[in-house]
Amino acid sequence: MIPSPAVPRPLHSPVSHGHGDFRAKLHSFKLTNDPICACDRKPETAKHILRFFPRTRRARQKLKQVLWEEDVPWPPGNGAFLRTKRTYDALVTFAREALTNQTDR
Ligand SMILES: [Zn+2]
């Protein structure tokens, strides 16, 4: 048996590209029966995690603060996180916190 290497997931891709291991996406691939988020019965999409999910509220506050300081409006439009190095780094930090806070999934 060959052990599989521990490959870290790319932390920036789920939110920025709209493909995370979120329920709505998994549901579209028929990998889960329920596309709905546990928190509020809304479809659990990257947009939901980024803008509304209660467990990412604190991470979202930090992200919004950086965007505000960089003159990027909320909610972020296309390319908003690519505006500056800081906005990109803030999104990476948000995604890392969102992905490591999955205790209710
Ligand atoms: Zn939810």
Q: Report the predicted TM-score, pTM, of the whole model to 2 decimal places.
A: 0.68
Q: What does the pLDDT read at residue 103?
A: 57
Summary mean pLDDT of the chain: 80
Closest by CA position to 24, among listed 11, 33, 15, 16: 33
Q: Which residues contact 94 (CB under 8 A, 6 or more apart)?
A: 15, 50, 56, 59, 60, 62, 63
What separation in Å is there between the alpha carbon of 46 and the centre of ligand 1? 10
Burial 8-36 (b: 16+ CB within 10 A, else e): eeebbebbbeeebebbbbbbeeeebeebb
- Indicate if the pLDDT at residue 68 is higher than 50: yes
Distance 102 CA to ligand 1 centre (A): 12
Ligand 1 centre distance from Cα of residue 31 (Å): 18
Say how many Å lie between the CA of residue 5 and the centre of ligand 1: 32
